[in-house]
Every structure is written in structure tokens, then in C-alpha cells.
């Protein structure tokens, strides 16, 4: 097959061969730079990471060499309680933030969709949290939840909820409160914006018809808004789930994964192993595992929801 003349053999019918072959060559020539770029920046590092993950490679201990250990690093990860806990934390964070952001984002989008004066201004203002860099937002929230100088403790003490400052960041459970709240605060506007775009695509005459038929506001929402908003909801869901699963900077700044490791997500543990401890082999194995999980999530979404997403289906 490789010996046959014509690069796109088997795909193009032989009729008018010369021109088509030339066009195919041109097409390949045009696509090649893009393909090469993808290969270089996406596939090559990925393949390298997979290869690295099959070795024992610790930069701090050059005397160990770089022996091939097969799936040893993966076996270590699956038996490593810190890895499993980090996966659990990531799952908790993802479920909690995505659920809250979708719920609040929907409410916000419905409110923004109403016609009122100054709507443009309000829409722009709502986006401010989203526009703030994550590290800055995380610092803001850390100061707000600071035990001594933070506004949260000041308000709670003023209202009589606590008699001495509560140190949020040393309690394994309570440390999650600023983590989840800050992500919800920051990302809800993004979800709202996506949903708002979906809402504006819904034909107003559908609501008119529903009203004439005597449908209540709830029935209109349930049977007109929600079904037609589904594609937008799915887009928001995919974006937020994949993002939340890879959360890093927010938690790095807010809690550093602490107290102990009780808020450490998988991305932070991977960063620690790979770049802090310079365990290239083990850290690469963790990276590959994270990649597999996010890839699997993406496939699931596409498999079950893709039909709606692509506007086909029903």
C-alpha cells in the first residue's frame, strides 16, 4: 500500500486521478504543519510522560539510575493512601462545586434574562468574579477567612455565633468551606453566562403558546425552558467538571492542601510528586492516571450527551 503512487490511496475514487491526487497532496501539505504541531505539543509530551511513568526516576537520587519498572509506579499509586485520598478529595470538590454552580448559575441566568433597565451593566458586573485571576481570588478568600483579621470571623463573632476566633484552615472539615465557596463565587458567573446564552436562544413564542394553553410558570420552566436549555447545561457541565477535576491553583493558595493533606486534590499531589519532590517516574504515573480519568469523563459526556450537544439526535 505504501508503494502505490498517490498519497490518499483508497480514499479517493480513481476517476480524474491526476488532479485529485495533486489536490490531495496539496491538502496534505496544508494540513501537515498543523498535524506536526499537534504531534509535537500534544502527542509527544503525552507519549514521553507515559514512557517516563514506566521508570523509577527520582532526580534527587541519581545513584538509583533510571531502571524500567513496568507498571510498578501505577501499582504504588493504587496502594498509596495519599493518592486515593486525593482522588476522594477531588471527587468531593467536583461534585460539590459543579452542583452548586449549576444550581446558582441557573437562577442567576433566569434573573439576568428578564428585561429591565440597566440589564447590560448588571450582566457585566456579574462577570467580575470570573474575570479576577484565580490566585488573586484565592488570596482574597484566604484573607476573608483569616482567623484574626478575617471578615467572616468578625461578622460571626459580632452576631454572637462564636465567642473566640475560629481557625478555619486547621480543621479538616471546615477548611473545605472557603475552598468550595470561593470556587462557587468565582465560577458561577461563567455558568450563568453560558446558560444565559442558551436562554436567549429559546423562541419567545413558545412561552406565549404555553401561556395561552394555561401553563403555570413552573410548568413553563419544566416543559419549555429546561428541555431547550439542555444543550447549554451540558456544555456548562462538561466545562466545569473537567475544570473542577483538575483544580490546583485555588487550593494551592488557599490551604496548600492542608491541614495535613485533608484538602489535597489530585493535581496538587501530582505537582508535589513531580515538581516538588522531583519523582519524575511516580509523578508521571500520577499524571497519566489523572489524564485517563479526565479523558474517561470526557468520553462519557460525549457518549451519553453528545447527540444533544451536537444538535443532532431527537
Partner 1 sequence: MPGRRSAGPSPVPPRHPRGRPAAPAAAVSAAAVSALCVAAVALAGCRAEAPGGPAVVTFPGSAVGAEAVVLRRQLERFMEARPDIRVISRPTPDAADQRHQLYVQWLNAGASTPDILQLDVVWTPEFAAAGWILPLDRFAPDTAAFFPATIAANRWDGTLFALPWFVDVGMLYWRTDLLDAAPRSFAEVERAVARHVGATAPPDTAGGPVPRYGFVWQGARYEGLVTVFQEIAGGFGGRILDERGRVAVDEEPAIRALTWMRDAVAGGAGPRVSPRTTLTWHEEEARFAFQNGQALLMRNWPYAVSLLATDPDSRVRGHFAIAPMPAAPGGEPTAALGGSQLAINARTEHPEAAWAVLEYLTRPEQMLERAALVGQYPTREVLYGEPELAEALGVDPAPVREIIARARPRPVSPVYTQLSEILQIRLHRALTGQAEPADALADAAREMRAFLRKVGLAPDGEGPDGG
Distance between CA atoms of residues 100 and 102, nearest Å: 6
Binding mask 148-167 for partner 1 (x = CB under 8 A): x----------------x-x
Shortest distance in whole angstroms from residue 150 CB to partner 1: 11
Q: Which stretch binds partner 1 (CB under 8 A): 17-25, 176-184, 233-241, 258-266?
A: 258-266
Residue closer to partner 1, measured from CB, 47 or 155: 47
Query: What contacts 129, CB < 8 A, 6 or more positions away?
Result: 137, 185, 186, 188, 189
Is residue 271 part of the contact set for partner 1 (CB under 8 A)? yes
Question: Counting contacts by CB under 8 A, is residue 62 touching partner 1?
Answer: yes
Binding flag, residue 14, partner 1 (CB under 8 A): no
Crossing angle, helix 44-52 and helix 280-309, to 10 degrees? Answer: 130
* 294 touching partner 1, by CB under 8 A: no
Q: Which is nearer to partner 1, 138 or 234 (CB)?
A: 138
Q: Residues 176, 269, 280, 282: which binds partner 1 (CB under 8 A)?
A: 280
Length of the chain: 314
223/212 Cα distance (integer angstroms): 15
Q: Which stretch binds partner 1 (CB under 8 A): 1-9, 16-24, 31-39, 269-277?
A: 269-277
Task: Look up residue 49 and give its three cell numbers.
Answer: 510522560
Angstrom distance (rounded) from CA 284 to CA 291: 10
Does 303 contact partner 1 by CB under 8 A?
Answer: no
Under 8 Å between Cβ of 207 and 114? no
Residue of 192, 261, 266, 282 interacting with partner 1 (CB under 8 A):
261
Asked if residue 259 binds partner 1 (CB under 8 A), the reply is yes
Applying CB under 8 A, the site for partner 1 has a residue count of 40
Q: Does 36 bind partner 1 (CB under 8 A)?
A: no
Name the one range near partner 1 by CB under 8 A: 117-125, 197-205, 222-230, 278-286: 278-286
Please give the residues from 76 up to 135 whose contact with partner 1 meets the rule CB under 8 A: 82
Q: Does 48 help bind partner 1 (rule: CB under 8 A)?
A: yes
Select 94 or 261, whichever has its Cβ closest to partner 1. 261
CB of 74 to partner 1, least distance (A): 15
Closer Cβ to partner 1, 46 or 111, answer by number: 46
Which among 273, 256, 290 is positioned nearest to 178, based on CA atoms? 256
φ/ψ region of 254 (left if φ > 0, alpha if ψ in -120 to 50, else beta) reads: alpha
How far apart are CB 250 and partner 1 at their closest, in Å?
Answer: 17
Q: Which stretch binds partner 1 (CB under 8 A): 112-120, 189-197, 232-240, 283-291?
A: 283-291
Residues forming contacts to partner 1 in the complex (CB under 8 A) are 44-46, 48-49, 52-53, 58-64, 82, 147-148, 165, 167, 169-172, 256, 258-262, 270-271, 274-278, 280, 283-284, 287
Amino acid at each position: 500500500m505504501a508503494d502505490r503512487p498517490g498519497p490518499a490511496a483508497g480514499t479517493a475514487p480513481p476517476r480524474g486521478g491526476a488532479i485529485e491526487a495533486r489536490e490531495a497532496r496539496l491538502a496534505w501539505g496544508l494540513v501537515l504543519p498543523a498535524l506536526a504541531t499537534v504531534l509535537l505539543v500534544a502527542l509527544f509530551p503525552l507519549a514521553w510522560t507515559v514512557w517516563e511513568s514506566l521508570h523509577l526516576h527520582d532526580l534527587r537520587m541519581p545513584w538509583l539510575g533510571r531502571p524500567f519498572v513496568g507498571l510498578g509506579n501505577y501499582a504504588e499509586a493504587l496502594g498509596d493512601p495519599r493518592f486515593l485520598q486525593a482522588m476522594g478529595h477531588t471527587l468531593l470538590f467536583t461534585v460539590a462545586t459543579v452542583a452548586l454552580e449549576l444550581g446558582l448559575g441557573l437562577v442567576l441566568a433566569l434573573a439576568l434574562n428578564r428585561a429591565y433597565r440597566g440589564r447590560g451593566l448588571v450582566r457585566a458586573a456579574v462577570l467580575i468574579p470570573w474575570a479576577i485571576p484565580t490566585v488573586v481570588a484565592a488570596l482574597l478568600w484566604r484573607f476573608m477567612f483569616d482567623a484574626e483579621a478575617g471578615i467572616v470571623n468578625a461578622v460571626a463573632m459580632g452576631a454572637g455565633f462564636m465567642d473566640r476566633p475560629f481557625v478555619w484552615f486547621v480543621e479538616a472539615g471546615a477548611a473545605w468551606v472557603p475552598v468550595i465557596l470561593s470556587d462557587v463565587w468565582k465560577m458561577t458567573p461563567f455558568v450563568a453566562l453560558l446558560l444565559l446564552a442558551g436562554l436567549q436562544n429559546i423562541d419567545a413564542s413558545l412561552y406565549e403558546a404555553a401561556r395561552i394553553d394555561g401553563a403555570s410558570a413552573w410548568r413553563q420552566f419544566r416543559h419549555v425552558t429546561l428541555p431547550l436549555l439542555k444543550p447549554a447545561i451540558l456544555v456548562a457541565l462538561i466545562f466545569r467538571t473537567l475544570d473542577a477535576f483538575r483544580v490546583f491553583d485555588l487550593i494551592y493558595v488557599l490551604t496548600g492542601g492542608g491541614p495535613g493533606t485533608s484538602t489535597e486534590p489530585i493535581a496538587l499531589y501530582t505537582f508535589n510528586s513531580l515538581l516538588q519532590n522531583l519523582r519524575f517516574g511516580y509523578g508521571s504515573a500520577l499524571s497519566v492516571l489523572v489524564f485517563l480519568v479526565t479523558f474517561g469523563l470526557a468520553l462519557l459526556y460525549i457518549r451519553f450527551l453528545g447527540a444533544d450537544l451536537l444538535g443532532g439526535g431527537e
